[in-house]
């Protein structure tokens, strides 16, 4: 874990109590998470429980958040942007999670 | 059925909260709102609330949720208004209101964060205002509207209080600004609440306040201006503290309306302007000009300036009866130039350019030009004559070729007036006459004459200077010609003959009098004349040479009792004078016989030779003021003069004649104009290729 001043991290907790520690910057990609983290609510502590999302799905979500952040400003013509792999069996769950997190 | 052929798609668990009905879920949210209002947000799990909203929206309960939320907020706000704002008035009300506003905005923000999923999924598609804006709307409906009147009153009375104290510090301004910002945030039907409701009220009140603030009628113009300035700058600085730029401008406009467009001030403006312009008070002038940028006001200011200039120029008096016409002319011209320069320098300190509207160029120079041009137009004949005379006077002072540059400098100002002269041909006429005299009598430096013609050309155009150029050309070619003309030896050695060959069309003289040909010249002159004729005919075979004695002059050195004088006089005068080489005494009749010159001319010359006070080189018996055929003349040996060189002025013999002459000049000018106009008409018709009938809009084109 890195120092909070340098890169604050947040912890996402899935329905099966899997914990994912990611940098706040990555979490902020999702408007839903951003509002949670910036607001004065309970979640401002940095621990966000997402009882609606299963651990493996959440892992994929975190992957996507990182992927999004990395290539958000990339120039499509110049850089080779790899495809984001989505396992077919997870597609629907991811779809719901994406809607929920507004990404 | 959610499955695919290859990989199995897992059916996702529902993200939403299971099982519960709308009421339970709504209670969760209601409870959350209560917490928010109680500032206990930290205890709430956003995720839970978010998921609640998510669930409700997914269950298609969004519109119910929206309605519930709205009415619940309304209730909350009503309660709040009852509790904290009831009965509160004045500044306290404003303060409280502002506080509530701030906290409510915060709450609305939180609530709308919670409702983010509903905003996204429901409000956007149903075209409902989003949660935050809905909150603002409720705020307006439930808090502001019930106490609208109180707020307005509180604000206005508070502002007026500060105004009447005139203090530059307004501690309340922060609150005002807050309230105004609140009003600007709140939506009204078309615009925000501020511009739709409060701004008009504010403007109205400002107008009323300033209408009654000062008793304007008791103030003198200067005091009025001072007060006005003070009020304006005060109000401006006050406004800046609490309203936006646009509204400040609006308030300023209102203020201008109240302060400037009063009868008193409208009466005061000309007085002040007069004062500023007369005393060279740049400060005051600037103030007057910058008071308002309204077109109406600018027009008024411009009008005042023009009026003042007009007043100044028309106050120049011209003594028409004075005999020293040239002097008066010069004086007059100098004063016009003076006024011109004065205003130019004065008005250049003000930027009149921003008065430019309707495509009208109102630079200070144009204003001056317009007014002075109008003035010069009033009496065009006099103007042209005077300016020409003025130039004449200066030009003559360069005779001894000393201060050409000085004269140029002083004439440069006069050049500016050229382009203001509307009847340029008239001016040319006058100028031509005077210039021809100067050139013939060599009374000015050619260099200066050339310079002047160049100036005229650049200000008025080639058309008007073709004849002037012709005259200058003649003079220089004459000099060349005289150079080649070597008289034969048998002439008197002490005579120098200079010829001036003039092209008839360029010079403004009537065709030489036929009688001229018959004048009997003294032998020496006759000799020259014949020789020159021979010389000229040899050189230019097919040109006709005609002598114009009346334009020539002659310089004679003569030893009087008290000294030797060189007297320059017209040829006719010289002819008469030279007679006395052979005769002691002659009567007028005899002179007439001997010279064969026109009788009128003889009279004139005799008067100037024997009666003009400064140049009496002939004695006349008896000493009367008229010449009769029996009067006898002899050389006045007792002649004295302060300078060695004497110029004999030929007096205009009959006053009526000069008038007649100028009349003739006018007539010929008229004729010329008619010719020009006709030519122009022909050109227009030709270009229109309408040979059948003159086009109906011809007169307008002529004008």
Six-digit token pair at B133? 């804006």
Q: Which residue of B has its CA nearest to A50?
A: B47
Identify which of B22, B139, B11, B155 has the alpha carbon closest to the alpha carbon of residue B80: B139
Does A88 reside within a domain?
yes
Residue extents of the structural domains in chain B: 550-653, 657-702
Distance CA B604, CA B654 (A): 8
* Interface size between A and B, measured as CB pairs under 8 A: 75
**What is the residue whose two structure tokens read 């030519």?**
B679
Task: Report CB contact under 8 Å: B12, A32.
Answer: no
pLDDT of B2 > 50? The answer is no
Test the A interface: residue of B1, B10, B115 with most A CBs within 10 Å? B10
Enclosing domain of residue A63: 9-98
Q: What is the pLDDT of residue B358?
A: 47
pLDDT tens column, B404-448: 677 777 777 777 777 777 777 777 777 777 777 777 766 677 777
For residues B373 and B639, give the distance between their C-alpha atoms in angstroms, rounded to a whole number.
Answer: 49
Task: Give the separation between CA B257 and CA B210, rounded to whole angstroms.
Answer: 10
Q: Which CATH number fits domain B550-653: 1.10.10.10, 2.20.25.90, 3.30.230.130, 3.40.50.300?
A: 3.30.230.130
How many C-beta atoms lie closer than 10 Å to residue B573's C-beta?
25
The predicted complex's ipTM stands at 0.81
pLDDT in tens, A3-37: 344 567 888 888 888 888 888 888 888 888 888 88
The residue ranking higher by pLDDT, A60 or B360, is A60
Please check whether residue A1 lies inside any domain of the structure: no
B193-217 exposure pattern, b = at least 16 Cβ within 10 A, e = fewer: bbbebbbeebbebbeebbeebbebe
Give the pLDDT score at A3. 39
For A33, name the nearest residue in chain B, comparing CA atoms only.
B47
| Mean pLDDT of the region A53-78 | 80
Q: Which residues of A touch B3 (CB under 8 A)?
A: none
pLDDT recorded at residue B340: 79
What are the structure tokens assigned to B586, written together? 């002659």
Please report the pLDDT score of residue A54 as a whole number: 81
Distance from CA of A42 to the nearest CA of B (A): 5
Inter-chain residue contact A51 with B47, CB threshold 8 Å: yes
Strand partners, A20: A12
Unique residue bearing structure tokens 């001030």: B265
When scoring B3, B9, B11, B15 by the number of chain A Cβ atoms within 10 A, the one with the most, hence best to mutate, is B15
Give the separation between CA B298 and CA B291, rounded to whole angstroms.
9
CA neighbor of B376 nearest in space, from B412, B322, B423, B438: B423
* A53 closest CB neighbour out of B2, B11, B15: B15
Residues of chain B with C-beta less than 8 angstroms from the C-beta of A31: 116
Give CA–CA dist B158/B501, Å, rounded: 92
Chain B neighbors of A53, CB-CB under 8 A: 15
**Residue A38 belongs to some domain of the structure:** yes
Structure tokens given for B560: 């009087």
CA–centroid distance for B603 within its chain: 54
User: What is chain A's alpha carbon radius of gyration, rounded to the nearest angstrom?
Assistant: 14
Percentage of residues of chain B with pLDDT beyond 70: 74
**Cβ atoms of B73 and A69 closer than 8 Å:** no
B566 forms beta bridges with: B557, B645
Looking at chain A, which residue has its C-alpha nearest residue B116? A32
C-alpha to C-alpha distance for B70 and B58, rounded to whole angstroms: 19
Contact between chains at A52 and B4 (C-beta distance less than 8 A): no
Query: Tokens 């007026």 belong to which residue?
Result: B160
Per the CB < 8 Å rule, is B41 touching A41?
yes
- Please tell me the total count of domains within chain A: 1
Q: Which residue of A has its CA nearest to B17?
A: A52
Q: What is the pLDDT of residue A38?
A: 79
pLDDT for residue B163 is more than 70: yes
Give the model's pLDDT for residue B5.
44
Using the Cα atoms of residue A97, residue A100, residue A103 and residue B5 in order, give the sign of their dihedral.
Answer: positive
**pLDDT tens across B212-253, in order?**
776 666 677 777 777 777 877 788 887 777 777 787 888 877
Q: How many CA atoms lie within 13 A of B232 on its CB side?
A: 21
- Reported as a single tens digit per residue, the pLDDT across B456-475 is 777 777 777 777 777 777 77
Q: How far lies B543's CA from each of B358, B499, B533, in Å?
A: 59, 15, 11
Taking contacts as CB-CB distances below 8 angstroms, the residues of chain B near A87 are: 7
For B86-103, the DSSP string reads: TT--HHHHHHHHHHHHHH
3-state secondary structure of B581: coil
**Across the interface, do A89 and B10 touch by the CB < 8 Å criterion?**
yes
Q: Is the dihedral of CA B146, B149, B155, B158 positive or negative?
A: negative
Strands B618-621 and A9-13: unpaired
If one compares B515 and B318, the residue with the highest pLDDT of the two is B318
More confident residue, B502 or B271: B271
Cis peptide before B622 (omega within 30 of 0): yes
CA distances for B155 relative to B102, B137, B511, B572, angstroms: 18, 21, 91, 97
Give B499-530 pLDDT, tens digit per residue: 666 666 666 665 545 455 566 777 767 777 77
Interhelix angle B380-396/B446-460, rounded to 10 degrees, is 150
Task: Specify which residues B553 forms β-bridges with.
Answer: B570
Its pTM stands at 0.54
Among B51-65, B327-341, B397-411, B634-648, name the one with the lowest average pLDDT.
B397-411
Closest CA of chain A from B15, distance in Å: 4
Q: What is the rounded CA–CA span in Å between residue B390 and residue B388?
A: 5
Which residue do the tokens 């320098």 mark? B345
Task: Report residue B657's pLDDT band, with 50, 70 and 90 as the boundaries.
Answer: very low
On whether the CB atoms of residues B196 and B188 are closer than 8 A, the answer is: yes
First to last CA, chain A: 26
Give residue ranges of B with CB < 8 Å to any A CB. 2, 4, 6-16, 41-47, 49-51, 54, 110, 113, 116-117, 120
- What residues in B contact A85, CB-CB < 8 Å? none
Q: Which residues contact B545 (CB under 8 A, 6 or more apart)?
A: B501, B533, B536, B537
Chain A residues closer than 8 Å to B51 by CB: 51-52
Q: Kindly state the average pLDDT of the residues B609-613.
A: 71
Residue A83 belongs to domain with CATH number: 3.30.710.10
What mean pLDDT, rounded, does chain B reach?
73
How many distinct helices (H) and strands (E) make up chain B? 29, 6
CB-based contacts of B275: which residues, under 8 Å, 6+ apart? B221, B222, B281, B284
Residue B111 has pLDDT above 80, yes or no: yes
In this prediction, residue B319 carries a pLDDT of 63
User: Beta strands A47-49 and A9-13: pairing type?
Assistant: parallel
Q: What SS3 class is residue B114?
A: helix
Task: Give chain B's end-to-end CA distance (angstroms, integer).
Answer: 94
Q: Which residues of A touch B (CB under 8 A)?
A: 15, 31-32, 35-36, 39-44, 48-54, 57, 87-93, 96-97, 100, 102
Pairing of strands A47-49, B618-621: unpaired
Q: Please name the member of A36, A90, A97 whose beta carbon is closest to the beta carbon of B47.
A: A36
pLDDT at B359 over 50: no
| Partner-chain contact A51 B117, CB within 8 Å | no
In sign, the C-alpha dihedral spanning B158, B163, B164, B170 is: positive
Confidence of residue A1 (pLDDT cuts 50, 70, 90): very low
Beta bridge partners of A22: A10
């Amino acid at each position: 874990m890195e120092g909070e001043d340098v890169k604050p991290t947040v912890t996402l907790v899935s329905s099966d109590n899997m914990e994912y520690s990611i940098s706040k910057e990555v979490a902020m990609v999702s408007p839903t998470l951003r509002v949670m983290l910036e607001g004065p609510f309970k979640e401002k502590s940095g621990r966000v429980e997402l009882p609606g999302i299963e651990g493996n799905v959440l892992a994929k979500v975190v992957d996507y958040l990182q992927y999004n952040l990395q290539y958000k400003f990339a120039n499509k013509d110049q850089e080779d942007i790899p495809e984001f792999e989505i396992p077919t069996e997870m597609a629907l769950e991811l779809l719901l999670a994406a809607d929920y997190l507004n990404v | 059925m959610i499955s695919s052929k290859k990989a199995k798609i897992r059916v996702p668990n529902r993200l939403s909260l299971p099982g519960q009905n709308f009421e339970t879920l709504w209670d969760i949210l209601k409870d959350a709102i209560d917490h928010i209002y109680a500032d206990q947000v930290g205890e709430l799990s956003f995720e839970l609330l978010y998921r609640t909203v998510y669930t409700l929206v997914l269950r298609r309960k969004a519109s119910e949720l929206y309605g519930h939320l709205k009415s619940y907020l309304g209730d909350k706000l009503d309660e709040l208004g009852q509790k904290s704002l009831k009965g509160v008035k004045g500044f306290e009300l404003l303060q409280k209101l502002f506080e509530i506003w701030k906290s409510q905005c915060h709450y609305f923000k939180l609530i709308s964060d919670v409702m983010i999923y509903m905003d996204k999924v429901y409000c956007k598609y149903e075209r409902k205002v989003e949660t935050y804006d809905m909150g603002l709307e409720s705020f307006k409906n439930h808090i502001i509207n019930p106490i609208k009147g109180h707020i307005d009153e509180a604000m206005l009375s508070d502002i007026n209080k500060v105004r009447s104290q005139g203090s530059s510090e307004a501690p309340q301004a922060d609150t005002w600004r807050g309230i105004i910002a609140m009003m600007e945030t709140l939506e009204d039907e078309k615009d925000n609440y501020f511009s739709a409701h409060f701004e008009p009220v504010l403007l109205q009140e400002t107008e009323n306040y300033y209408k009654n603030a000062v008793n304007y009628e008791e103030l003198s113009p200067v005091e009025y201006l001072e007060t006005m300035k003070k009020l304006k700058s005060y109000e401006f600085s006050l406004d800046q503290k609490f309203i936006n730029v646009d509204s400040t401008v609006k308030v300023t406009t209102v203020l201008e309306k109240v302060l400037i467009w009063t009868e008193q001030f409208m009466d005061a403006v000309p007085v002040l302007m007069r004062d500023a312009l007369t005393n060279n008070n740049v400060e005051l002038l600037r103030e007057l000009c910058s008071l308002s940028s309204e077109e109406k006001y600018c027009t008024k200011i411009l009008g005042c300036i023009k009026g003042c200039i007009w007043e100044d120029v028309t106050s120049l008096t011209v003594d028409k009866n004075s005999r020293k016409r040239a002097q008066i002319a010069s004086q007059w011209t100098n004063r016009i130039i003076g006024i011109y320069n004065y205003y130019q320098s004065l008005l250049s300190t003000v930027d009149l350019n921003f008065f430019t509207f309707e495509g009208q160029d109102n630079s200070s120079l144009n204003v001056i030009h317009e007014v002075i041009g109008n003035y010069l137009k009033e009496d065009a004949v006099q103007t042209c004559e005077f300016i020409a005379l003025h130039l004449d006077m200066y030009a003559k002072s360069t005779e001894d070729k000393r201060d050409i540059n000085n004269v140029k400098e002083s004439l440069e100002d006069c050049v500016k007036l050229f382009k203001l002269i509307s009847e340029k041909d008239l001016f040319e006429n006058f100028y031509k006459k005077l210039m021809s005299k100067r050139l013939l009598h060599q009374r000015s430096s050619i260099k200066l004459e050339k310079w002047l013609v160049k100036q005229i050309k650049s200000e008025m155009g080639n058309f008007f200077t073709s004849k002037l150029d012709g005259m200058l050309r003649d003079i220089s070619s004459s000099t060349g010609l005289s150079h080649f003309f070597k008289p034969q030896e048998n002439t008197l050695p002490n005579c120098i003959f200079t010829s001036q060959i003039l092209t008839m069309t360029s010079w403004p003289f009537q065709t030489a009098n036929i009688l001229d040909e018959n004048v009997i010249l003294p032998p020496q002159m006759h000799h020259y004349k014949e020789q020159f004729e021979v010389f000229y005919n040899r050189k230019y075979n097919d040109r006709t040479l005609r002598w114009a004695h009346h334009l020539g002059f002659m310089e004679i050195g003569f030893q009087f009792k008290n000294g030797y004088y060189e007297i320059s006089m017209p040829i006719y005068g010289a002819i008469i004078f030279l007679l006395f080489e052979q005769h002691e005494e002659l009567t007028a009749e005899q002179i007439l016989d001997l010279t064969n010159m026109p009788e009128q001319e003889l009279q004139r010359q005799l008067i100037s030779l024997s009666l003009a006070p400064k140049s009496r080189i002939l004695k006349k018996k008896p000493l009367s003021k008229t010449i009769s055929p029996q009067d006898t003349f002899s050389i006045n040996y007792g002649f004295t003069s302060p300078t060695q060189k004497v110029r004999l002025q030929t007096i205009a013999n009959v006053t009526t004649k000069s008038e007649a002459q100028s009349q003739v000049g006018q007539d010929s000018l008229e004729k010329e104009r008619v010719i020009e106009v006709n030519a122009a008409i022909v050109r227009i018709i030709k270009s229109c290729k309408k040979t059948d009938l003159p086009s109906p809009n011809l007169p307008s084109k002529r004008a």
